[in-house]
Structures are given as structure tokens and as C-alpha cells.
Structure 1
Amino acid sequence: MDKLQAMKVFCRVYEAESFKMASESLDISRPMVTRYINALEEELGAKLLHRNTRNISITYAGKQYYRHCVPILEAIEEAESDLGDLTHQPKGHLRLSVPMDFGLSHMVPILSEFSSLYPEISLEVDFSDKRVDLTESGIDLAVRGGDLGGDHFIARPLCRMQGYVCASPKYLERKGVPKFPNELSQHDCLVYTNAPNTGRWVFTKDGVTEEASISGTLSANNGGALTRLAVEGAGIIMQPDFLVEKYLKTGELVHLLDDYETFSGQFYAVYADRKLLPKKVRLLIDFLIKKLQ
């Protein structure tokens, strides 16, 4: 039995509380995970995990063994990392979740460059605005924006975003230019249905916050689609800079209510809170920070 590999397998099962998740993150079969755990328990003469058909639980011996395994594996990981670039390329399968619009506009060229640099790492990318459960989904790393929520993960900042209220010149010619947020109730606003409060937009000026009631005949769960609708003259949008900036530069959209601040936020690289972060994940996080910051 490869003792170090068995220790890695046990620690991953311990952290994920799942044989399936451990097999996916380590890129080995589920029966192989079981064999490693069985061999380790037999050699140690102690039960590390209680498992049944539905779940697993950690024994007292398992908790104590994990506590000793972590510093050993971290020391080996650090040593291998220091020498890795001189001896071998990192490899393995890496599952990544990114927001649809930000992923398409900013992540695609970065991921392409990463794949060229590390050809033995296979990337499986889920482009979706749905927030996945990092523990249950098998996702190694997620890029998320705005309010993260929850406390069972680590978040590393990548870049900032800023919201803009915009409309096309032809819409403004037809409907007029709003000068104040409360005038938006008289306009066709394009509603982003994934927003926490779809019926209002929030503005701040000189430290004073103002809410504007908004509505319209068109709504969608995709900011890119709403931006294109705004360019076509369908209404007014509030969308982040990475979606509207190219249209503002060409004049296809006009920035409205620029005396007011709208939403702002941060994109983060988010991953499960665990001790043993695979090298391939660390490499991608560092690469994203370098490119996006």
C-alpha cells in the first residue's frame, strides 16, 4: 500500500465526508478509495470511519489520525511544490464554476491561457449563474460575485465590479432622459430576475440612500441578454461595468444618473474550507488573481 496516497485519500474523505467526492477530487475510482481506507484501517488496527449506504461519520481514532496526517501531508506538498516546476507538470481534472456573463466576457481567454501553460490539467467549466454547493457538486473552485453568504468556504478577492444605469440613444429620444431615480417608475426598465429585489433599484448620493421602484414588460435571468435588449432600445438597465463598458465606449448605450452611485461588489475565487488544497487548484487561483487584479 502507498501509505502517503492512503493518507491523502483518508484526509479527503474526512474533509468531504463522502467517498464519491474524494474519488472525483483525487481523480481515482470510488472502489480504489474504499481499498485505500480499508488497507489503512487494517494496518493501523483501528476503525477510522463508520459508513453505511447513506453517509459516513468519523470515529475518535479517525479524528486523531487526521490531526497527525495534515501537517505531514502539508510538509510534503510544500516540498513538492518548491521542486515541482523543475521536475514535472501538475496534472489532473479540475471542475470550475463561473458566472455566465463574466465567464464569457473575461474568463474564457484566461482559462485558455491557463490550459496552454498546464496542458496536463483538464478543465471542466460550468458556465452558470446558479450558485452550486461546493461540497455536494464536486466543484473544486467557483468564481462568485456580490454577497457570498455562508461561512463554510474560503474566498479570495479577484477584481471589483460597479453597476451602471444605461439606455440607448434611441430609447432616450423616444421616452426622455430620467434626471432623478424616482423618475424611473415612469420608464420601461429591464428587470434582472436573479437580483434579490427585482422591483427596486438602490442609489446613493452624498451619503443618502434612495430606492427607486422599477418595472417593465421585459425581464430575464441573464444580464448579457438584458444589455443587448437595452442596446436595441427596449428599455433602461442597471448592469455591471463588464457588460456595458464596450457599449458605452461606442455610444450604443448612454450612462444615466451618473451623479448617483449604484451597486458595487467584488468577484471572488471560492473553494471549500479544507486543509489540503490540491496544487492544481492553488495554481488556478493564483493565475486568476494575477490576471484579474
Structure 2
Amino acid sequence: MDKLQAMKVFCRVYEAESFKVASESLDISRPMVTRYINSLEERLGTKLLHRNTRNISITHAGRQYYRHCIPILEAIEESENELSDLAHQPKGHLRLSVPMDFGLTHMVPILSEFSNMYPDITLELEFSDKRVDLTETGIDLAVRGGDLGGDQFIARPLCSMKGHVCASPEYIAKWGRPKIPADLLKHNCLVYTNAPLSTKWYFQKGGLREDVTIKGSILANNGSALTRLCLEGVGIIMQPDFLVDPYIKSGQLVPLLGEYETFSGKFYAVYAERKLLPRKVRLLIDFLMEKLKMPST
């Protein structure tokens, strides 16, 4: 009996916890599913599944075997795709998750070029500032910034970013200009709720760090919205350079507390750890690394 097909059948039964669902999704008969499972168990000399007329349950050996099967099957599939890609124009569906603000300002303008270069690759964009489970969501590649937290994926640096504290000239004229971080306690600071510690801004100068617990009249999970409110003179923001630099250059926003360093970090291309990466994903990573590269901060 075909060992690879038997592994596929077992993995599908494991995932669906159903012989019926496995047979339908693989387009084979239920008796054939049973024969594949029986053959595997006989060859391995152990029970992989306990089943009765109502349900099935996975044995410890079954869980162990499944963990070994998945990378083998993925490697074979990706090897076949790799060979196919060498002979043909890269193609397929590619799901990309990008941060809302950075995606709109820096990625949308360049992705049209990627699409023109590889017309047979269909890009599906998901805009989100939240971390995504690359395995469960089916996302092929995510672009994320800051502290990624965890080592269950691979992260390739794309570009750098740093934070600026800003206000509009109108706000400063009305409420004054903070001279030290503690002065922010007397100001309306607009809160970005997607930050890990949204109401705590930190500053560093001369190796000393100072944390300030800010408060404000408006909280939002979108940096562009807070920047727009800041332009209208509503309050003070701490936002990354890619959002505020154009307004600082035009004079619409004034940088504050410039002698202090705030947050800094990088944006990364993040993908699930695997031995072989589909060519379409590699092409997009290489493209983003070339187009988004910025001087390190």
C-alpha cells in the first residue's frame, strides 16, 4: 500500500476526527480509509486511533506519528511546487497580512509593481495590527513591527522605524510646549491602544530611562486617525516616523522633546518555520527587502 497516501489519509482522519469527512475530502471510499489506517497500524505495530460506532479518539502514538507526518508531507508538496515553479512562471494565491498604517503608506504603493512582475500570483491583503497565527489563519506571510514575541516563526528584517512626539503649532500656541517628559502629565496625550502599554510613554536620555503615564481625551487603535486628530490641534501624539515625517517636514506638526529617544524598532517579514519555502513567498520577501530597505536607526 502507498505509504505516502496512507500518511495523508491518517492526517486527514486525525484533523477531522472522522472517517466520513476524511473519505469525502480525499474523494475515496470509507472502506478504503479504513484499509489505509489498518495497514499503517499493522506496519507500525501500534494503535493510532481508537474508534467505535460513534466517534474516534487519538492515541498517544497517533499524536506522535501525526507530528512526524506533517513536515514530511509539507516538504514533499513544496518540493513538487519548487520543481514546477522552475519550469513555469510563479503562480498561485498568496495571503499577506500587513499593519494598517504601514501597509497603506509604504506597501500598497509598491505592491502594484510586484503584481506587474508576477501577474500569475494573486495577492490577498489582510490589514491588521494584531498578531496572527500563521498556521491557523492560512497566512503565507505577515509584516509586523516591534517586539514579535516568540520563536515559533522566522522573521526577516525589512526596515527600521522610530517614534516621535508631536503636536500642531496651534496646540502649542494654546497649551504650551512640554520641556521635559513629566510635563506631558499636564497635556492631552492621544492614546494608541494597540501598543502593549498604551498609556505609558518612555523616554531615554544619557542612558537614563523615564516612564510617563499619560492620559488623554481620545483613544484609538489606528495611528493615522490619531495623527489626523493631532493635526487638528486636539492633542499630543507619539507615533512612528513613517506617519509623522511628512507633516514635520511641511511644518504642520512640531517635534517635541527631541533631545530624548523614544521607541525604535524594525518591521519584519514573518513566516512559519519550515524547511522549504514556496517560491512565490520567497519572491515577495526578496522584493520587500529590496524596496523597503531604510538606513538603520
TM-score by length of 1: 0.79
Question: CA separation in 2, counterparts of 1:62 and 1:199?
Answer: 45
In the TM superposition, what are the counterparts of 1:80-229 in structure 2 within 5 Å?
84=86, 87-229=87-229
Kindly provide the CA deviation profile for residues 88-114 of structure 1, in whole angstroms up to 9, marking residues without a partner as x. 211111111111000000110222111
The answer for the alignment partner of 1:46 in structure 2 is: 40
* Structure 1 pair 127–33 and aligned structure 2 pair: CA distance change class (3 A): farther
State the identity as a percent. Answer: 58
SS at match of 2:40: coil
The answer for the alignment partner of 1:247 in structure 2 is: 247
Q: Which runs of 5+ in 1 are unaligned?
A: 20-29
Structure whose alpha-carbon radius of gyration is higher: 2
Question: CA separation in 1, counterparts of 2:186 and 2:64?
Answer: 65
- State how many pairs are aligned: 275
Contact 1:204-1:260 at 8 Å conserved across structures: yes
The answer for the alignment partner of 1:269 in structure 2 is: 269
* Structure 1 pair 51–189 and aligned structure 2 pair: CA distance change class (3 A): farther
* Structure 1 pair 67–218 and aligned structure 2 pair: CA distance change class (3 A): closer
Question: CA separation in 2, counterparts of 1:51 and 1:95?
Answer: 37
Question: CA separation in 1, counterparts of 2:69 and 2:58?
Answer: 16
* Structure 1 pair 50–111 and aligned structure 2 pair: CA distance change class (3 A): farther
Moved more, 270-279 or 200-209: 270-279
Question: CA separation in 1, counterparts of 2:76 and 2:238?
Answer: 50
Contact 2:166-2:255 at 8 Å conserved across structures: yes
Deviation at 1:152, TM superposition (A): 1.3
Deviation at 1:243, TM superposition (A): 0.5
The AA in structure 2 aligned to 1:95 is: R
Contact 2:78-2:277 at 8 Å conserved across structures: no
Question: CA separation in 2, counterparts of 1:220 and 1:144?
Answer: 19
Deviation at 1:171, TM superposition (A): 0.4
TM-score by length of 2: 0.78
* Structure 1 pair 272–34 and aligned structure 2 pair: CA distance change class (3 A): farther
Question: CA separation in 1, counterparts of 2:281 and 2:158?
Answer: 15
SS at match of 2:284: helix
Runs of 4 or more consecutive aligned structure 1 residues displaced over 3 Å after TM superposition = 30-35, 41-45, 47-81
Kindly provide the CA deviation profile for residues 128-164 of structure 1, in whole angstroms up to 9, marking residues without a partner as x. 1122211111111111111101221111111111000
